Structure 1
Amino acid sequence: MRVLKQVRFRLGNLFDPAASYGPAPYDIIFCRNLLIYFNRNLQDRALVCLKTLLAPDGLLLVGPAESGLPILHGFASARLPMAFAFTNVEPAKAPRTVAPSKSRFGPATPAPISDVSKVLSPIRPASSNAAKVERSFHPSERAAQSLASVERTANAGRVAEAKELALTHLGEYGPSPEIFYLLGLAQDAEDARSEAIQNYRKALYLEPRHQEALAHLALLLRKQGDIAGAEALTGRLGRIGKRSGT
């Protein structure tokens, strides 16, 4: 009941400068799966507004398909596992989430994977019985665990490691919409745009209704000046959202 008494509901327009949102600044703002329905101009306006409403050390939480937008407006990844959270700091003060070395992942071929087995299996079986339990997993279960490991690593902000894990997963378990999407996400964070676009398209080839891949691909196309292609994908994303009721 004490928590309930602290709750206040207000209706406001994010783009109305006269709107009242209560006493600001806020420590946390939840804005999940809203920005994906705006064009680039409205996305920029929304993020400027959210930045003014957020406390200097506050957190902004967005959806996975929107995770590439806040960093364009002075936010930095909060490096919180399983959350697309960003801190309200200037780029110069932001913790780096991408490995600074560009030579590690060139555009032509992926970098060699060093000791990935330690990443995939940080705790090795201590006995033969444990090994038997490990081997008892169905291949589909192992693939699901590997995919979850890639996603957790990406959510934690360890982009280069997530890319290595994604490439390893792809070699061991074959193509799937999710692995192509996660690989594209890691390449996107490293600013390897052409490779990211290719993998987002592969994800959509296998799953045309993959909303996160649609949103990220639309954003990349817009950055490259392909406005018509970006608008087409945004319209497609909107139609999918209406049919699914999201």
Structure 2
Amino acid sequence: MRLRAAFALLPAALLLAGCSGDDSADTPPPTSTSASAPATTPTETTPKRNVGEGVYEPTDEVVSETYGIATRITDVSPIDTRYGPGVVITFDLRNDSDEIFQDYNWPTPSLSTGERGVPAEQIFSGEDNLPQGVSGNIPPGASRVVRHGFEVSMEDMTDATLSVGSIIWRGDFTTVGESSRTSGGGQAPAVTTTATVEQTQQSTGSQSQPAMSPPVGFTGAPNGDPQPLVGKTIDYCMDGDMYQTGTTQFTDGTTGWTQECAGQ
């Protein structure tokens, strides 16, 4: 009986084995999902230069958080001086605050060029009226024109960094004022500022006079050659035996020594 049972089960086992082989043969091979995904080609874009957080383009107008003075670079032009070729940068200042801006609070700009940030020397030239600082205090809503020169070429200004206090501009400065230089077939004429209401009051009622070059001398102990005293205006020369020749009283209440008073 046991032998018959074994033979009876043999056909069933063979049948199951045959079915199993047929199923494996008909099953399609597994496919790779990664192979079916279409290939993507990265899109090429022109990189945009990032001037950095808190750094402005040369054409941007920036308002000082401390004094409320809106500062804008209006022109960058080449110049030939007794010291050689250079560049003159013109600033337009506008007092957007409710308080008078004191002229001595205007900081001296600094310029560097190239990726390495090579410092540029500022031009001090009475013949070229450089630098031309803030002449007189600026009341709310009023404006001033300021000019500073540097011993660099216009080519250097294609990649430069200009700082005025905490305000920083970076980029190509040769395009600043370009339309005004090219539209008339030549370079824009130099801007000449005149005396303001504040200067008239300080001069005790005298008529307004054209802006003059800053006096030359010292505000502290004499050290080296006399330098232009940007932002200083002579009130009067302090004569008398108790004063050294050349001692000068300035309109802001300070004293110093100037060549102008020494030559009187």
* TM > 0.5 fold call: no
Higher strand share: 2
Higher helix share: 1
Considering only CA atoms, is the larger Rg found in Structure 1 or Structure 2? 2
Class of the TM-score when normalised by the shorter of the 2 chains: under 0.3
Give the TM-score taking structure 2 as reference length. 0.19
